[in-house]
Structure 1
Amino acid sequence: MEIKCKFQKTEFFEDQFEEIGQLNYNQAIEFYSTFQFSEELNKYYNRELTSCFPKIVFYSENEKSLTIWAENNEGIFFRYENNFQFFESYVSFDINQNKLELNIIEIIRIFYNNEIESIFNLKKKVIEHSIDTQIDNLLIFDGQKIKPLKKLLKTIPFLILWIGFVFYDIYNEYVFGIYFYLISSLVWLTSIIIYISYFFNSKNVKVTIDAKNKILVYEKNKNKITVKREDIHNCEINIPNNKAFTLSDYSYVWFVLKDGKRFVINNFVAEPYDIINNFKPNYKATKVGFPFLPL
């Protein structure tokens, strides 16, 4: 059985691997033994952007693979799978905690000897069948086609209630006081300000993602920015941690490129995670009190 190897480091994109090529058993053991799991884990836990756990994959042409990765410095995870079955477990570096009574080098050996399926009890994979046989790798998000008025409609009842309090207060010779109105107006005024900024930010915006080649094209008012993931200096999703009824529906993803260009895609154009899940950049997610757009 010819076995090839690929690996993934912390700073890689989630779908990015570096191919090593074919390895024999001794070469595989040497590569595993010298792979810097601890160093990569230190990078993982110190990065602000999304990261990958350090990972090694041994695989064959008949769809059998052994994936080895670390999430801490106390042991190694591994997963074996074929077309229809899998087995996943954890090997602790502490012998007393190692329930399998095997180390990773022995796991690699039995994989190379094609013995895993006779040693472990494999589980059946859940196979998802898609009705569509054609996959469209080109996704288009058009701000002109989105009608987000319902987000503003959530604010109207609070505005009406606030106006009702104003008339009540005038009729009763101002019993509430100015501070009550200043504070209570934040409920509807903040939402209206955010809505207006999102509306104009999304006007004439079109975003196209080539999901296969991982290319994003941002167009606004005939200006076009074409982005590859390697061009990104920073990518951040901002979502409100404020669960107020009037603010919970606003969010955005913004990109800062290495050449200094920056742009924002708010959820009047596309939901931030729709962008992330198809473009697959490294990013960070931040919860903010008020989801105002960045300047």
Structure 2
Amino acid sequence: MSKTSLTESDSRYDHLESMTVSDLLTNINKEDQSVAGTVQQCIPQIESLVSEIVPRMKKGGRLLYIGAGTSGRLGIVDASECPPTFGVDHGLVVGIIAGGDGAIRKAVEFAEDDAKQGWKDLQEFNVGKEDTVIGIAASGRTPYVIGAVDSAHEFGCLTGCITCNEHTALSKVSQFPIEAFVGPEFVTGSTRMKAGTAQKLILNMISTSVMIQLGHVSGNKMVDMQLSNDKLVERGVLMIMDQLSVTREQANDLLAKHKTVRAAIANFSKSTT
């Protein structure tokens, strides 16, 4: 087994089929508990990347994730949650998966093996030099992702990656690689488990810290969130009540009039000065 194939190395456990349900759950959880500590060690790498992303996005750049399989789906999840959470346009953070949108639900055979298709898929989004492209691949050797990141770098984009192996081809073509060495999976090679969890944690850290730096959070509140359901409307009302010390009725009226928590608070302040 190659030293770089940490994600493919044998599980620390064997005879899984003979374990009780309790043992299975306990041992999976035991492995999962190591992930946060591993991600903690990546904070300097994540910080370096985020510090480069923010000024580019302030100039109009976008954040594009690209991956295959589980990695691609995780990028799409993170991208899709930015508009409702932070009130940004749907095109500001983009998730791209090998095989196209159909691969979100059903694996597309050999889609990840095409080294040229990733860059073609990026070009469909009119990628620009202020954009950031982050390749996501637990193995770090997915041709689709490597080709996309390499071409994006040559084009002039900022590039980064999230991988769970050492000294990978993907890291070598990325300006800001993030390497989370979570070690063997509970089920050998099943990187939807610890590797996927690590990738999700890192994506949360990247997008959330970027959005805070871009001004989409005030205090600790999502003041730009989209009011797309009753739960979020109620959350918005409570934010306004807390911030302005007004009644529920007043908060409801302000939110109905101004459409966002930020606008409601800002316009209330103006009207009282």
Q: TM-score range by the shorter chain?
A: under 0.3
Task: Select the structure with the greater relative contact order (CA < 8 A; seq sep ≥ 6).
Answer: 2
State the TM-score, normalized to the length of structure 2. Answer: 0.27
State the TM-score, normalized to the length of structure 1. Answer: 0.25
Higher strand share: 1
- Bigger-Rg structure (1/2): 1
